Chain A
Amino acid sequence: MERPRPGRIAGHNPLVTWCVVGALLGVGAALVGWHGVYRSLEIRLAAVLIDATTSSGVYVAPHRQTVYFGLGTDHAIGLKITPECTSAFLVVPLLLVAAAMVSLRPRITRRVLASLGLAVVVLVLVNQVRMLTLVALIGGFGRHRGYYLGHTLLGSMVSVFGGAAALVLFVWLSTRTPRPKDTQKDTPKDAPA
Chain B
Amino acid sequence: MNRSSLDLLLGFTQALALTMSVAFVTYVCLIVVPYLRHRRAAAGDPSRFEWHFLVPCRDEQAVIGETVLYLRATFPTAHVWVIDDDSEDSTAGVVRRIRGRTEANIHLVQRTRPNARTGKGDALNAGYRAIKQWMGRHADATLAVLVVVDADGRPSADCLAVCAAEHLFADPGIGAVQLDVRMLNSGVPQLGVGRVRRWYGGLLVRMQDLEFRTAIAAIQMSRGITGTISMGGNGQFTRLSALDSIAGPDGRPWRGSLLEDFELGVHLLTAGWRTGFTMDAHVDQEGLYSLRRFLAQRTRWGQGTMQCAGYLRQIWDSRHLSTLGAAEIMYYLAQPWMQLIGTLVYPIPFAFLGVRTLQAPSEVWAWFTGGAWLLFAVYGTFGLLPFLMWGPIYRLRCDRTGSLWRGLGYGLAYSLYIYTFYITSWRALLRLVRGRNGWAKTRRNTEVARGLVALDH
Contact = CB atoms under 8 A, between A and B. Distances in A.
A37 interface: no
Interface stretch (A14-22, A66-74, A100-108, A134-142): A100-108
A148 B370 contact: yes
A180 interface: no
B344 to A, nearest CB: 15
Contacts of A6: 313
Interface stretch (A42-50, A55-63, A156-164): A156-164
Contact of A3 (B8, B12, B15, B314): B314
Interface in A66-113: 82-86, 88-90, 92-93, 100-101, 104-105, 108
A83 B12 contact: yes
B417 interface: no
Interface string B70-109: 0000000000000000000000000000000000000000
A176 to B, nearest CB: 7
Contact of A175 (B324, B378, B379): B324
B226 to A, nearest CB: 9
A104 B19 contact: no
A88 B11 CA distance: 9
B18 interface: yes
B309 to A, nearest CB: 12
B365 interface: no
B374 A177 contact: no
Contacts of B327: 101, 171, 174-175
A86 B11 CA distance: 8
Contact of A104 (B25, B312, B378, B382): B312
A103 to B, nearest CB: 9
B11 A4 contact: no
A35 interface: yes
Interface in A1-39: 3-4, 6, 32, 35
Nearest to B14: A84
Contact of A157 (B8, B322, B370, B378): B378
Interface in B12-59: 12, 14-16, 18-20, 22-23, 25-26
Nearest to A32: B12
B317 A167 contact: no
Nearest to B8: A83
A168 interface: yes
**Chain A, interface SS category:** helix
Nearest to A4: B317
A160 B324 contact: no
Contacts of B18: 90, 159-160, 163
Contacts of B374: 152-153
Nearest to B16: A93
Contacts of B314: 3
B10 A83 contact: yes
Contacts of A156: 375, 378-379
Contacts of A101: 323, 327
Contact of B326 (A105, A167, A191): A105
B324 A104 contact: no
Nearest to B322: A177
Contacts of A83: 7-8, 10-12
Given A83-B11, A177-B323, A177-B324, 9 more contacts: A32-B12, A88-B15, A89-B11, A104-B313, A153-B374, A163-B18, A168-B26, A175-B322, A175-B324
Interface of A: 3-4, 6, 32, 35, 82-86, 88-90, 92-93, 100-101, 104-105, 108, 148, 152-153, 156-157, 159-160, 163-164, 167-168, 171, 174-177, 191-193
Those 8 A-B pairs whose CB atoms lie nearest each other, nearest first: A83-B11, A89-B15, A104-B316, A175-B324, A175-B323, A148-B371, A163-B22, A83-B7
Interface of B: 7-8, 10-12, 14-16, 18-20, 22-23, 25-26, 312-314, 316-317, 319, 322-324, 326-327, 330, 370-372, 374-375, 378-379, 382
20 contacts: A4-B317, A32-B12, A83-B7, A84-B10, A84-B11, A85-B11, A89-B12, A104-B312, A104-B313, A104-B317, A105-B323, A152-B371, A152-B372, A156-B375, A157-B378, A163-B18, A164-B26, A168-B26, A175-B324, A191-B319
